[in-house]
Structure 1
Amino acid sequence: MTSPIFALADEYITAYARLHPMFAGSVGIKGDFGVATDFGPEAVEERAELDRDTLAKLNALASTGPADDLARLHMAERLSVSVAQHEAGEWRRALRVPYGMLQSLVGYVDLAPRRTENDWRLTVSRMRAIPEMLATWRQTLNAGIEAGQTVARLQVSEGVKQARRNAGTRVFDKHVQAYGDGPQARDLREAAEAAYGAFNGIADYLEGTYAPHAAERDGVGEERYLLAARSTLGAVLDPRDAYDWAWDELHRIEDEMAAEADKIVPGAGLDEVIAHLDATQAVGTHEEYLAWLTEKHQGALEALNGVHFDIDPRLMNLDVEVVHGSSAGSAYYTGPSEDLSRPGRTWWPVAERETFRIWGELTTVFHEGVPGHHLQIGQTKVTGDGLSRFAKVFGSVSGHAEGWALYAERLSDELGWFADTGSRLGMLKGSALRAARVVIDIGWHLDLPLPAAEAKLHGERWNFDTALEVLKTRGRIAEHRAYPEIVRYAGWPGQAICYKLGERAWVDARAEAQAAAGADFDLKAWHTRALNLGPIGLDNLATVLRG
């Protein structure tokens, strides 16, 4: 489609890619935009000015039809909140662990293609760019020190660990070894060593220079939290209503978990059933784990296609990778490149594990793969002219994306896909985790009291230890994931709530459509229409689907 609004969206993506080459390379935007992003204050301001200028131009353009209306709605919502966050000074608080700069730099290198000698030159270039990018990032962190806008001490100490881990585990040696002794072997080794030196250097800076200025309190307070939630949800949040709802939802799920556990080992308690499943429904090697993951991903693709979804053939290729030495506590997904030459991929950190409790991970396969992130995010790349380029490569909304992925887990249950022993309990356990995330994230950052009954179990006020206990005992998270999850909530306010609140929005939207259509409701058609709309903030989701 060609229209002034779509043309503006295209211009924005090209301009943003020039200003942020690392973003362009990571998401696979077509074009030669260079390799290194400048993360210094002047460059950050230049990107913010692009947002402001594009928003002003967008507001002056007339719509030519429904596709334009959708493109305008989404661009205006995303750009507005981006500008608001910049003006609030959030850009100065640029350190976030584990999913932040230090993880993104590793991912940037890992996502480079490696088929030809030219591809390997790109890998070398991306590794060589890391010292430069970390140096400019340091300037922005210094601006935060000068303005009195720094992150909490926890993020700093964990950032030090993450940076040193990147160097200590030699995260890029796998690429050096994969290349072998070809003509660029020396360049690869030297680039990797320079990157490791830069990671150790930023760790020294964080520990010696930044840490003395770090904030003491992990919670960000209501004003900052609501702005963060607006960014992650695409919605104005009523935090106290969401907090109360999530406690009720957690209680409902816990009752259902108890009933499901009784079906597996009648008369046993939930902890006993989980221990039984851990002992009987697990694999013991990385190779078995990868084989199981690959089989389940491919099986889901084949079972869905043509039945509950029409999956574009280009999305039937989904890579699965087991990740060693990652700081991430949980699996994650990266979408296809803009031209689809790089397929979507799910990443599965193994940490120090040697045993993999697959009974609890099938639900995550559906979340990260299909019908979850891969289907939703991949669909935006193949929809065609109905979506703007902004929506296709830039405009994801966490509440929309994570809400869909959690809805996908629920849909998989409706389809009867949790037939393996314990796998439905694994799905419910995952849902309990997402409900626990909401109460932890809102309660901790806003310093809300725990309800009276919960206070007797966990204490009256939130802190790191309370959050960790609730996550373990009520969210029933795997031990290796618990600590990094709490670190993540502290550094990324408003993100942990996206799953459950996003799922609620998707479930409500489908229920509304079913009520309106009655016996004529077509689930496959509704799925197709919903995915073809691309990303939308939750405040606008029901309205757009209704229209």
Structure 2
Amino acid sequence: MSSPIFALADEYVTLFARLHPMYAGMAGIKGDFGVASDLGPDATGERAKLGRDTLARLGSLESTGAADDLARLHMAERLESEAALFDAGEWRRALRVPYGLIQSLCSYVDLAPRGNEGQWRTTISRIRAIPEMLATWRQTMNAGIAAGETVAIRQVVEGARQARRNAESRVFDKHVKAYGSGSQAGDLAAAADAAYAAFIWVAEYLETQYAPHAVARDGVGEERYLLAARNTLGATLDARDAYEWGWEELHRLEDEMSAEAAKIVPGATLDEVIAHLDSTDLLTDHEAYLDWLSEKHHGALEALNGVHFDIDPRLMNLDVELVHGSSAGSAYYSGPSEDLSRPGRTWWPVAAREKFAVWGELTTVFHEGVPGHHLQIGQTKIVGDGLSRFAKSAGSISGHAEGWALYAERLADELGWHSDPATRLGMLKGSALRAARVVIDIGWHLDLPLPPAEAKRHGEKWNFDVALEVLTQRGRIASHRAHPEIVRYAGWPGQAICYKLGERAWIAARDEAKAAAGADFDLKAWHTRALNLGPIGLDNLAGVLRG
């Protein structure tokens, strides 16, 4: 589509990519924007100014129709939210573990194409840029010290550990090994060694220079939390209502889990059934685990296509990869590049695990792959001219994306894909984890009291240990994921609630459409319309789907 609003969206993506080459590389923006991003205060301010200037220009442009209206609505919501975070000084707190810069630098390298010598040069350039980018990042962190706006000491300690782990596990040696003895082998090895030294330097900086200025309290308080939640949800949050609903939802899911567990081992407790499955429904090596993941991903693609979704042939290509040496506790997804030359990919950290209880992981395949993130995010790349480039490449909203992916887990259950009580229990357990995230994230950051019955069980006041206990006992998270999950909630306020609150919004929108259409409701058509609209803030989701 050609219109002033769409042209502005295209211009913004191009200019932002020039100001942030690392973002461009990770998002797969087509074009040559360089390699190293300046993460210092001046460059961060320049990117914020671009957003503010774009927002001002957007307000002066006339709409030419529904596609323009949607593009304007989405761009304005995202740019306003980003401007509010910048104005509040959140940019100075540029440390988030485990899914922040330190992890993203590794992903940036892993996402580089490596099919020929020229592409290998890109990989080497990205690794070589890491020390420079970390040096500019340090300037931003020092600006936070000067302004008295620093992150919590827990993020500092965990960030230092993450940086050291990257160096000590030599995260880029897999690429050195894969390249072999070609003409660029020396450059690749030297770049990797320099990156490892930079990670050690970051760890030492955090431990010795930044740590004395870090704040003690993990929670960010209500003002900062609501600002963060506005950004992650695309919605104004009623925190106390969501907190109460989260506990109600957790209790509902616990009842349903107990009923499902009784089908597996009658008379056993829920914990006993989970222990039984963890010890019997296992894969015991990495190769078998990868084969299982690949089979389930591609089986879901084949089963859905033409039945409940019309999947573009270009999205039938989905990569699955195990991640070794990562500090991430859970699987994640990276979308296709803008030109679809890089396929979508799901990433599965294995840490030190040698056994994989796949009964509980099938639902995550549907979340990260299809009908979850791959179908939703991939669809924005192939939907055509009805979406602006901003919506396709720059305007993701966590509540919209994670809400859809959790809805996708529920949809898989509705389609009968969990006829085995064990995998259905895994789906319910995953949903209970997301409900536990709501109460932990809101309760911890806002320092809300636990309900009386819960206080007797876990304690009256939220802290790291109480959050960990609720997550393990009530969310029943796998042991290898528990600690990094709680660290994640502390450093990324407002994100952990996106799954359940996003799912609630998607279900409400579908129920509304069902009620309006009655017997004429077509689920496949509704899915097509929903995905073709691209990312939308949760405050606007139902209205846009209705219109």
Whether TM-score is above 0.5 comes out as yes
Q: In the alignment, is residue 296 of structure 1 matched against residue 296 of structure 2?
A: yes
Match of 1:163 in 2: 163
Match of 1:426 in 2: 426
Contact 1:359–1:420 (CA under 8 A) maintained in structure 2: no
Match of 1:455 in 2: 455
Contact 1:433–1:471 (CA under 8 A) maintained in structure 2: yes
Contact 1:359–1:421 (CA under 8 A) maintained in structure 2: no
Letter aligned with residue 6 of structure 1: F
Q: Secondary structure at the match of 1:320?
A: strand
Contact 2:124–2:187 (CA under 8 A) maintained in structure 1: yes
Q: Following the alignment from structure 1 to structure 2, what is the Cα–Cα distance between the partners of residues 179 and 431?
A: 41
- Give deviations 1:207-232, integer Å, cap 9, x for gaps: 11000000100000000000000000
Q: Following the alignment from structure 1 to structure 2, what is the Cα–Cα distance between the partners of residues 209 and 144?
A: 12
Contact 2:260–2:421 (CA under 8 A) maintained in structure 1: no
Match of 1:154 in 2: 154
Match of 2:466 in 1: 466
Match of 2:106 in 1: 106
Q: In the alignment, is residue 173 of structure 1 matched against residue 173 of structure 2?
A: yes
Contact 1:392–1:534 (CA under 8 A) maintained in structure 2: yes
Match of 2:25 in 1: 25
Match of 1:187 in 2: 187
Q: CA deviation at 1:420?
A: 3.5
Q: How does 1:8-407 map to 2 (within 5 A)?
A: 8-407=8-407
Letter aligned with residue 444 of structure 1: W
- Give deviations 1:409-468, integer Å, cap 9, x for gaps: 000000010134500000000000000000000000000000001000000010000000
Q: Following the alignment from structure 2 to structure 1, what is the Cα–Cα distance between the partners of residues 100 and 278?
A: 32
Q: How many residues align?
A: 547
Letter aligned with residue 198 of structure 2: A
Q: Secondary structure at the match of 1:322?
A: strand
Q: Following the alignment from structure 2 to structure 1, what is the Cα–Cα distance between the partners of residues 18 and 206?
A: 29
Q: Following the alignment from structure 2 to structure 1, what is the Cα–Cα distance between the partners of residues 225 and 26?
A: 28
Q: CA deviation at 1:141?
A: 0.1
Q: Following the alignment from structure 1 to structure 2, what is the Cα–Cα distance between the partners of residues 170 and 420?
A: 40
Q: Following the alignment from structure 1 to structure 2, what is the Cα–Cα distance between the partners of residues 265 and 204?
A: 51
Letter aligned with residue 142 of structure 1: N
Q: Following the alignment from structure 1 to structure 2, what is the Cα–Cα distance between the partners of residues 271 and 375?
A: 34
TM-score using structure 1 length? 1.00
Q: Following the alignment from structure 2 to structure 1, what is the Cα–Cα distance between the partners of residues 101 and 37?
A: 12
Match of 1:489 in 2: 489
Q: Following the alignment from structure 2 to structure 1, what is the Cα–Cα distance between the partners of residues 182 and 420?
A: 46
Letter aligned with residue 356 of structure 2: F
- Give deviations 1:162-197, integer Å, cap 9, x for gaps: 000000000000000000000000000000000000
- Give deviations 1:268-305, integer Å, cap 9, x for gaps: 11111111111221100000000000000000000000
Q: Following the alignment from structure 1 to structure 2, what is the Cα–Cα distance between the partners of residues 245 and 195?
A: 45
Q: Following the alignment from structure 1 to structure 2, what is the Cα–Cα distance between the partners of residues 360 and 320?
A: 18
- Give deviations 1:229-253, integer Å, cap 9, x for gaps: 0000000000000000010000000
Q: Following the alignment from structure 1 to structure 2, what is the Cα–Cα distance between the partners of residues 275 and 327?
A: 25
Q: Following the alignment from structure 2 to structure 1, what is the Cα–Cα distance between the partners of residues 399 and 304?
A: 24
Contact 2:437–2:496 (CA under 8 A) maintained in structure 1: yes
Letter aligned with residue 490 of structure 1: A
Letter aligned with residue 402 of structure 1: E
Q: Following the alignment from structure 1 to structure 2, what is the Cα–Cα distance between the partners of residues 327 and 383?
A: 35
Q: Following the alignment from structure 1 to structure 2, what is the Cα–Cα distance between the partners of residues 25 and 358?
A: 33
Q: Following the alignment from structure 1 to structure 2, what is the Cα–Cα distance between the partners of residues 388 and 429?
A: 37
- Give deviations 1:478-528, integer Å, cap 9, x for gaps: 000000000000000000000000000000000000000000000000000
Letter aligned with residue 229 of structure 1: A
Match of 2:500 in 1: 500
Cα RMSD (Å)? 0.4
Contact 2:77–2:234 (CA under 8 A) maintained in structure 1: yes
Q: Following the alignment from structure 2 to structure 1, what is the Cα–Cα distance between the partners of residues 251 and 365?
A: 25
Q: Following the alignment from structure 1 to structure 2, what is the Cα–Cα distance between the partners of residues 491 and 276?
A: 34
- Give deviations 1:112-171, integer Å, cap 9, x for gaps: 000000000001100000000000000000000000000000000000000000000000
Q: Following the alignment from structure 2 to structure 1, what is the Cα–Cα distance between the partners of residues 515 and 299?
A: 32
Contact 2:219–2:447 (CA under 8 A) maintained in structure 1: yes
Q: Following the alignment from structure 1 to structure 2, what is the Cα–Cα distance between the partners of residues 513 and 504?
A: 14
Q: Secondary structure at the match of 2:400?
A: helix
Contact 2:263–2:421 (CA under 8 A) maintained in structure 1: no
Match of 1:537 in 2: 537
TM-score using structure 2 length? 1.00
Unaligned runs of 5+ in 1: none
Contact 1:8–1:58 (CA under 8 A) maintained in structure 2: yes
Q: Following the alignment from structure 2 to structure 1, what is the Cα–Cα distance between the partners of residues 418 and 332?
A: 21
Q: Secondary structure at the match of 1:307?
A: coil
Q: Secondary structure at the match of 1:422?
A: helix
Q: Secondary structure at the match of 2:51?
A: helix
Q: CA deviation at 1:266?
A: 1.0
Q: Secondary structure at the match of 1:351?
A: coil
Q: Mean Cα displacement is larger for which, 419-428 or 324-333? A: 419-428
Q: Following the alignment from structure 2 to structure 1, what is the Cα–Cα distance between the partners of residues 446 and 276?
A: 38
Q: Following the alignment from structure 1 to structure 2, what is the Cα–Cα distance between the partners of residues 363 and 12?
A: 37
Q: Secondary structure at the match of 2:129?
A: helix
- Give deviations 1:88-119, integer Å, cap 9, x for gaps: 00000000000000000000000000000000
Q: Following the alignment from structure 1 to structure 2, what is the Cα–Cα distance between the partners of residues 442 and 269?
A: 29
Q: Secondary structure at the match of 1:99?
A: coil
Q: Following the alignment from structure 1 to structure 2, what is the Cα–Cα distance between the partners of residues 29 and 50?
A: 18
- Give deviations 1:252-271, integer Å, cap 9, x for gaps: 00000000000111111111
Q: Following the alignment from structure 2 to structure 1, what is the Cα–Cα distance between the partners of residues 82 and 27?
A: 19
Match of 1:7 in 2: 7
Q: CA deviation at 1:46?
A: 0.2
Structure 1 residue runs of 4+, over 2 Å off?
A: none
Contact 1:283–1:358 (CA under 8 A) maintained in structure 2: yes
Q: Mean Cα displacement is larger for which, 430-439 or 265-274? A: 265-274
